[in-house]
Chain A
Amino acid sequence: MRAFRGAAVVIAAAMVLVGCASQPEIPYDRAAKAQIRKIGIVTPAFPEASVVLLNSVGSSFGLIGALADAGVQSSRDTTLKNLMQQQKFSAPDYFVERLNQGLRAAGYTVAMVPVKRDGSDFVEKYPSGAEPVDAYLDLVTMAYGYIANGVGDSAPYRPRFIVRARLVSAKDSSVLMQDKVLYNPLGPTDNTVTIPADPALQFKDFDALAASPQIAVKGLRVATEQSAQTIAKLLQ
């Protein structure tokens, strides 16, 4: 049952990725930048960390293979989560911290806008909180963790981070910027800003990753930080 649930999650995640592939990129409205001094970072959407193996042997054997793969993935996901807890690493906290720093460096004042999210899409209506802001920065992290393109030395595990970002005017709800950022691109990159993975932070297989928790978390830190910096750059 657990494996079946895992397979369903994998299929759903794939559908989400395909569905978002065609979302248009909207460059920052720099004409409006003079009016945007204070940005409210809406509580980002974050899934659980995951370990993805593309082109697995199991994918060659239909549903039975998919179920077997899902069982392996579920176990690896748990290992990665435990590893992050041991290293006291929270990707959502680190992402917000680095993004906050990047936006301040770009000249903005930053406030947090707490939101309880429903689902994994942009927020439909932003709260009119006690602290007024000029624009809301809405962030939906689609996936993060590790990914390998296959089995063997020629396809190592590397960190990945995928996040959608949208800046919405508080005054008239117009979309001032929208984009998607992908750390470690392996597949199609339409409408997506990509960041190449650091080749120094990779593992020949998952066992090697699990045996080096400090380096594994360092890889996640780098992926998270560079994704946050790229979003800040899109708003410069």
Chain B
Amino acid sequence: MPSVMRGLAAVLPALLAACAGSPAVPPILSLDGRPCVARPDLAGAQALALDAGNPIKLDLDAGAACLEPGGGGRSAYVAFRLPRSEQPYLLTVTSAPLGDTLFSPRLMLLDEQGNVLREVPRDEFMAHGVALYAGLRAAPAERYLIVASDAPSVGQHMSHIIGESHVTPVPIGIGGVAIINSGSEKQQVITYAHNGRVTVSAQPIPKAN
């Protein structure tokens, strides 16, 4: 085997591993049996900085807190303490897939006393490829963010087309290699769930251009 081919053979698995998607995580479709609270616990809220370079990325899993308001369904949730700011700022929440599992998000914005000032339902999230994204202008009075799962949509499926590019080394002559590009598609079926990966960030509202 020519040395170039041996080199490619050695490097290819590492490259493929680097390009592989996030690890497979089974979807959590029910919160039955989990202890739940009627109001979100704000004492343990994670502090979010007003800094685009410091987003908080976390995985909601079987240990996530559970919210069950009177007359409402159960939701997994996480609370964030929002930064102090005299001006409105950009608050973004992204739910990205873990394997084929996607946290189905909705948001609540609370004041200092924990009263709900605003809600962002699941259908106001926009698709960013396979991920779901919400960007909003947070007001100074909004002091806490609750990212909660949207129980009605949990268990639903969504099919996505994923484009893939392939690079195939083909030996030509003695020691020569031609790189052949090709492309294909695959279907990814996503399941909306009570678990998944969420990234939250706060930053000054960007200037256009």
Binding site for B on A (CB under 8 A): 23-27, 29-31, 54-57, 59-60, 122, 148-152, 154-156, 166, 175, 178, 184-190, 192-197, 199, 230, 234
Say which residue of A178, A188, A194 sits within 8 Å of B127 (CB atoms).
A194
B58 at the interface (CB under 8 A from A): no
Residue of B whose beta carbon sits closest to that of A197? B161
B113 at the interface (CB under 8 A from A): no
Contact A186 B180 (CB under 8 A): no
Contact B181 A25 (CB under 8 A): no
Contact A196 B179 (CB under 8 A): no
The distance from the CB of A204 to the nearest CB of chain B, in whole angstroms, is 12
Q: Is the interface of B mostly helix, strand, loop or mixed?
A: strand
Binding site for A on B (CB under 8 A): 88, 90, 126-129, 131, 133, 135-137, 139, 159-161, 163-166, 178-185, 205-209
The distance from the CB of A230 to the nearest CB of chain B, in whole angstroms, is 8
Q: Is the interface of A mostly helix, strand, loop or mixed?
A: loop
A-B contact pairs, 26 of them (CB 8 A): A25-B135, A26-B90, A26-B205, A26-B206, A26-B208, A55-B166, A55-B182, A55-B183, A56-B181, A60-B179, A60-B180, A60-B181, A122-B208, A149-B184, A150-B183, A152-B184, A155-B183, A155-B185, A156-B185, A166-B208, A175-B207, A189-B129, A194-B127, A195-B127, A196-B159, A196-B161
The distance from the CB of A188 to the nearest CB of chain B, in whole angstroms, is 8
The CA-CA distance from A186 to B163 in the complex, in Å, is: 5
8 nearest interchain CB pairs? A150-B183, A55-B183, A186-B163, A189-B129, A24-B206, A175-B208, A149-B183, A27-B135
The distance from the CB of B55 to the nearest CB of chain A, in whole angstroms, is 14
Contact B137 A29 (CB under 8 A): yes
The CA-CA distance from A197 to B161 in the complex, in Å, is: 8
Contact A185 B129 (CB under 8 A): yes
The CA-CA distance from A211 to B128 in the complex, in Å, is: 33
Name the A residues within 8 Å of B127 (CB-CB): 193-196
